[in-house]
Structure 1
Amino acid sequence: MPDKQGADGTEDGEGLIEFHGSYREILQFFCSNTTIHGAVRLICSERNRMKTGFWAALLAVTMGVMYWQFGLIFGQYGLHPVSIALTVDSRTLKFPAVTICTLNPYRYKNVQEDLCELDHMTEEALYTLYGYKSPARKGDRLPRPSPRRRGFFPHQLGLRLLEAGRQHQPTLEIGGRRALGRGNGSSLSAWLHNPPLSRNSSWKIGFELCNESGDDCFYNWHSSGVDAVREWYTFHYVNVMTRVPSTQGAHDDARIADFVFDCKFNGLSCGKSNYTRFHHPIYGNCYTFNGINSSYQWKTSKTGKDHGLSLLLKTVQNDYIPLLSTEAGARVMVHERNKFPFMEDGGFDIRPGVETSISMRKEEVRRLGGDYSDCTQDGSEIGVQNLYRSDYTQQACVRSCFQFTMVSRCGCAYYFYPLPPGAEYCNYNKHTAWGHCYYRLSKEFSEDVLNCFKTCRKPCQQTEYQMIAGYANWPSKNSENWIYPLLQKEKQIITSNRKEIAKLNLFFRELNYKTMSETPALPMVVMLSNLGSQWSLWFGSSVLSVAEILELLLDLGALSAILAVRNLRRRLWEPAPSPTPHPSPEHGSQHCHPPMLPHPPQDASAHLGSFDALADPALPPTYDSLDRDGYGAGPGGCQGPEGAQEGAGTFL
């Protein structure tokens, strides 16, 4: 700014910091020099009020729309959206782990004595409900109950049949202490000669579960008698097997040669170092090939079943538990090497007498952690101890969560899941109400009342295998005449029944594998770009225009602060008006007072350059007492400085 000449003739230099004198000057300077389109029109059309109002309204509307768009962009950024990036790569692939189970938890001959009472009760139920007799008991009228049954199986856990319209009183009870109908023995005989489920499909069948005090009971009903019998048999089977030593039955069938006759990978025979074994409570002995404990990692650089895993399996169906294992064949699951195989979730069955060929394709999923998703890297922050000897998976976490909750609320652990430290498996001889607790807990678990599914998050990195299955009869009728003799000599397979042999081939159908990776859909750079695009669209300006607006806000704030401080100081330092003196009428003629002379006020306004004259608070004089010099002398008054007599008047 040019130097200004002061009132005394000197020049005032520029200050280090200068502010405008009013809000009008600030706004006029901003609109005249800003690079924001439209703002300068306010100054150019200041003499035309209609145009000024139009441009002011248009500028306000565009600013409002722009900041509305800003809000949408910030809101979308706060959601942390992701986009999926799909890439396809081709290289030598690492072969996955393959787990195969026998579909039979124990050889029936090894546990037949322990399951004898349960089998008798189940056969009794099938005969009573359907009139069915097992082939081994065609000559018997009814399976005879053992004297041990009274203490071996609780009375309230017997099967009960409910007739339509009778919701509280069971029509027929099977198992436990007795099998009773609504009448006497002749009535029971009538039931047996005319089984209820063979003539009426509207019946419900189940078993009653009560808590320890017996005041909370419910029925586990099924509309299908077969489903009810299998559920009831499995429930009692769990209680029986908890009393059987783990070494009985399980390790008698532990030799892999009794199940896997032949194993080859890439044309080479497998060895003992290529598989590990574990026992599943439902699917029996399981063998994991190419697992984490294998001596080396299998790899393949070619496709086709000649460059994969080939297995020849034996399925001896005569050893199956008849009332528990209703499927024949083998259970197979393909999974990562460091993950536990959950056969009930991701496995599939292969049939005996059939060659099953499984072609695979690898897919990887990589999720973003942090604010973008609720995935976890290794599950260390979940807070649920992993009961499975493997890396973190969501299935392992969910089952561990349920098992710990089961131990906490029911006082025992569920037999189908790993045993936590310091706990024991449930058995109604020790834990009389564990069934009631378990089924209540299972319902809460399925409805996620236990928050296990919310607590256990997905892993951030996951590998999946998409599979396509093909089937063919093996061996064919024309080749079975020479295949069986050769297998008998080479593999010591003493069988000629195709229902006891199954063949499995697993291989990659292509070396290309897909990787689906999550990437931020709105990173910081894209968000700033969107903000700049909106700013340019509505204002046609740049980042420097933002600095101009910040400068305007700073100037307005500084001017407001200065004016506020000035008004505050003026109020604090302004003197209060003094009271007006009145001469006493009795002593007015004897006492004289000097004239009141004006004095400048001593307050803060004097420093700011403003002077306010104070009026004389004395009473105005009478007109006959005034003289030319401004001093009055009345009768009996006082003389002025020049010898004049003082009167009753006061200097104004």
Structure 2
Amino acid sequence: MTEKKAAKEGLIEFYSSYRELFDFFCNNTTIHGTIRLACSPHNRMKTAFWVVLFIVTFGLLYWQFALLFGQYFSYPVSINMNVNSDKLLFPAVTVCTLNPYRYMAVMDDLEELDRLTEQTLHELYGYNSSRLRSENASRRGRRSVISQLYPLEWLDPKQLEGNRVKRAAVSETELPMGRKDWNIGFKLCNDTGEDCFYQTYSSGVDAIREWYRFHYINILARIPTSSGMELNEETYEKFIFACRFNDNACSEGNYTHSHDPLYGNCYTFNENRTGNSEPWASSMPGISNGLTMVLRTEQKDYLPLLSTTTGARVMVHGRDKPPFPDDAGFNIQPGLETSISMSKETIDRLGGKYSDCTADGSDIDVPNLFNSTYTQQVCVRSCFQAAMVKRCGCAYFFDPLPPGQEFCDYQKQANWGHCYYKLENEFASDELGCFGKCRKPCKLTEYHLSAGYARWPSDASSKWVFYMLSQQNNFNVTASGRNGVAKLNIYFSDVTYKSTVESPTIDMVVLLSLLGSQWSLWFGSSVLSVVEMGELMFDLVAITIILYLHRRQKKKMEAVEEASVAPTPTLPRWQTHDNPDFPSEEEEPSHHFRVVADITPPPAYDSLELHTMEECENSSSSSKRSSLRSNLSAQSQAPSASENA
């Protein structure tokens, strides 16, 4: 019964050696090739070969694992391009007159600037205008403050080396110059007058326009921002003769009015604003399902020295984005019908660790000065305005005014121009870091445009078209003719649109699949085999700890045995009689000793022979038994001998 209990397997048993653990693993694991490590214990060459092969394969496996984890933590993305067909929301369309209008509040200052500019043209190029000749007599003795502060003059390029801010010239037709090697510009200095430079241009047209624009900004800055003063500007009907979308006439709820300092009055259609009508949508492509407008392109009472182009400025943008005509607009020519076909594309980027984009701009340390959603252009302009206020102490007029600030005017900030042009040069070279701060949005909608042109109205239909315009819109055909009107068509070329979506190339599911594929390739096993490897590692650690503790305990026991004293040997006592009168051994005095001699006869050397191990063991055991019997017989004879004596 006891033997059966001992033969039963215990609840927790462990391996007694590394060899036993290794043999058990190699014989029972599901990993291919490991059994070859234990099935050839008598062939060391095969065992060594399979050990080397197993180690090399294991190394290659984890090398592939390292490559996969490296790709995973580099966060690559895949671009999926889809073509969708759906009812398309129409974008916002902004149309500007392409000419800044004259404000009544600063009319006298603008007229003075025009007179001074014509006088500068006469002094530099000998240009004479009828207006200049008629006004010279009445204003001969008057000198303008503008001409005293920032005179426009000829400059020798050799004297300007290292004393100017380089600036890319605007593409304009260059005026013929008598001094071909000379530039034209104006001088700008800081408040102390120690740091000065010349803002120079090689083109006379560029120089006149920039000089006029600089003074024009200062004049506009004097207009009160909260006075509610009415501006002498044209009405909607004077600029847009006709407007239709999906063959329905446009209403006042379809557009908003704004004013651009360089492009004049602007009207934005289909803008996303509170209380606006339903957004426009196109379910079919073509001109009849888009926006059609007839625009007036006359240039009367405008600023010819600031605007040198006739026609209209058009920009297509998102409904919740502000228009930037100077950045993304295009011009349409008078006397032509311009047809703009659009194709829509949406981009959906992955944020976070996959790309450097922002969801709504809330994580960017640049305040949004525009009343709109985040765009990269909105952020860049806001960043420049913030740098302008911080360094120059005033705000640039072409961008929104920050709270509690005022626009730059050299009547208040005499030398703000020096600060502005230097800051603009740093902005263009990205020394301000605005382009790095302003990240691209994760979700973006773009409209790709293509244009077609045709003569409008045609010679055959011009008479009745102009007659209808003169009757309905008071259009002066005699004064303007074909150059006074233009037609614009904006429509979708197709109801399908392309969407570009980023997705992770290697997510967690794909990573596990690739790891499993590599494991199966090199070892032909599964997830359970990985568990077996984990179990092997655990067993190796456990058996190492157990063997270490066992060895440590053994050393302690050996040290204790060596340090302890050996016990006194106890001699065997034999009871010879049961007579109570005879004194027993316990009653003997402590000074009596009984010596027992163990007499063992010498071995018979002549009888030594070679025997097997078993015979040796048997003979050894028999000799021990015989020796024990002789000892016992000698001890029994000793008391009898003493009695006889």
> What's the TM-score bracket when you normalise by the shorter of the two chains?
0.7 to 0.9
Q: Larger helix proportion, structure 1 or 2? A: 2
Which residue identity lines up with residue 539 of structure 2 in the other structure? D
**Equivalenced residues, count:** 561
State the alpha-carbon separation in 2 of the partners of residues 71 and 49 from structure 1. 33
Aligned residue in 2 for 1:533 = 517
State the alpha-carbon separation in 2 of the partners of residues 76 and 598 from structure 1. 77
1:60 to 55, 75, 79: 55
CA RMSD of aligned residues (A): 3.3
Aligned residue in 2 for 1:208 = 187
Q: CA deviation at 1:399?
A: 1.2
CA contact (8 A) 2:92 2:269 kept: yes
CA contact (8 A) 1:412 1:426 kept: yes
Which residue identity lines up with residue 366 of structure 2 in the other structure? V
> Which structure's CA Rg is the greater one?
2
1:287 to 267, 270, 275: 267
Within the alignment, does 1:544 sit opposite 2:537 as a pair? no
Aligned residue in 2 for 1:499 = 483
Distance 1:319 1:341, change over 3 A: same
Q: CA deviation at 1:145?
A: 7.0
Which residue identity lines up with residue 503 of structure 2 in the other structure? T
Listed as ranges, the gaps of 5+ residues in structure 2 are 164-174, 571-594, 600-645
Q: CA deviation at 1:324?
A: 0.6
Within the alignment, does 1:100 sit opposite 2:95 as a pair? yes
State the alpha-carbon separation in 2 of the partners of residues 300 and 512 from structure 1. 11
Aligned residue in 1 for 2:409 = 427
CA contact (8 A) 2:124 2:153 kept: no
Distance 1:518 1:139, change over 3 A: same
Aligned residue in 2 for 1:221 = 200
Distance 1:16 1:468, change over 3 A: same
Distance 1:145 1:557, change over 3 A: farther
1:350 to 299, 322, 332: 332
Distance 1:567 1:154, change over 3 A: farther
SS in 2 for 1:114: helix
Within the alignment, does 1:256 sit opposite 2:256 as a pair? no
State the alpha-carbon separation in 1 of the partners of residues 16 and 162 from structure 2. 96
1:163 to 143, 156, 163: 156
2:177 to 162, 183, 198: 198
| TM-score, normalised by the number of residues in structure 1 | 0.78
Distance 1:139 1:59, change over 3 A: same
CA contact (8 A) 2:103 2:232 kept: no
Which residue identity lines up with residue 502 of structure 1 in the other structure? A
Q: CA deviation at 1:12?
A: 5.0
Within the alignment, does 1:149 sit opposite 2:133 as a pair? no
Aligned residue in 2 for 1:370 = 352
State the alpha-carbon separation in 1 of the partners of residues 562 and 428 from structure 2. 88
Within the alignment, does 1:270 sit opposite 2:283 as a pair? no
Q: CA deviation at 1:573?
A: 6.3
CA contact (8 A) 1:353 1:474 kept: yes
Distance 1:558 1:261, change over 3 A: same
CA contact (8 A) 1:129 1:197 kept: no
State the alpha-carbon separation in 2 of the partners of residues 579 and 58 from structure 1. 52
CA contact (8 A) 1:108 1:321 kept: no
State the alpha-carbon separation in 1 of the partners of residues 138 and 36 from structure 2. 104
Matches within 5 A, 1:271-420: 271-293=251-273, 294-420=276-402
Which residue identity lines up with residue 505 of structure 2 in the other structure? A
State the alpha-carbon separation in 2 of the partners of residues 107 and 208 from structure 1. 28
Aligned residue in 2 for 1:91 = 86
Within the alignment, does 1:522 sit opposite 2:506 as a pair? yes
2:439 to 439, 451, 457: 457
Listed as ranges, the gaps of 5+ residues in structure 1 are 171-195, 582-594, 600-625, 631-652
CA contact (8 A) 1:124 1:142 kept: no
Matches within 5 A, 1:560-639: 560-570=544-554, 575=559, 597=568
Within the alignment, does 1:16 sit opposite 2:7 as a pair? no
Distance 1:40 1:354, change over 3 A: same
SS in 2 for 1:328: coil
- Mean Cα deviation higher: 364-373 or 272-281: 364-373
1:46 to 38, 41, 45: 41
Aligned residue in 2 for 1:637 = none
Aligned residue in 2 for 1:180 = none
- Mean Cα deviation higher: 111-120 or 398-407: 111-120
Higher RCO by CA contacts (8 Å cutoff, separation 6 or greater): 2
Q: CA deviation at 1:10?
A: 7.0
